[in-house]
Amino acid sequence: MAGPTRVSDYTDRVLSAAERIPPGRVLTYGDIAAGLAEGGPRQVGGVLSRYGGAVPWWRVVRADGRLLPGHEQRALAHYRAEGTPLRDGDPPRLDMRRARWDGTP
C-alpha cells in the first residue's frame, strides 16, 4: 500500500496562498504567481486543477472575471454564499474591481 503523496514545495505554496484568501474575495492565477515570484498563471492553474479540491479553489480566478469553465455553477454557489461581488450578465462575472483582494487582513 502506498503512503500519502508528497507535493512539491511550489504546490504547497500555491495551495497555502489559496487558503489565505478571505471569503468574498478573489485573487487571479497571475496574482498568486507574482506573489510567489515563481511560475506563471498556467502553473498555478495546473496545481489547483490537480490538488485544489481541499482549498477554496473558487477564490482563484481568471483575470477577466469569467467563471471557471465546467465549474460555473459550483463556483457561483460559493460566490453567492460568501457575498463575493458579481456583475450582472448571463452568465454572471466576478466584479474584479470590488472582489480582488489586496492582501490585507
The pLDDT of residue 5 is: 59
- Tell which wins on pLDDT, 6 or 37: 37
b/e 2-40 (16+ beta carbons within 10 angstroms → b) = eeeeeeeeebebbbebbeebeebbbbbbebbbeeeeebe
Write out pLDDT tens, residues 73-88: 999 999 999 999 999 9
Q: Is the pLDDT of residue 1 over 60?
A: no
Mean pLDDT of 38-49: 96
Mean pLDDT of 89-99: 93
Q: What is the pTM of this model?
A: 0.89
Indicate the pLDDT class of residue 4, thresholds 50, 70 and 90. low
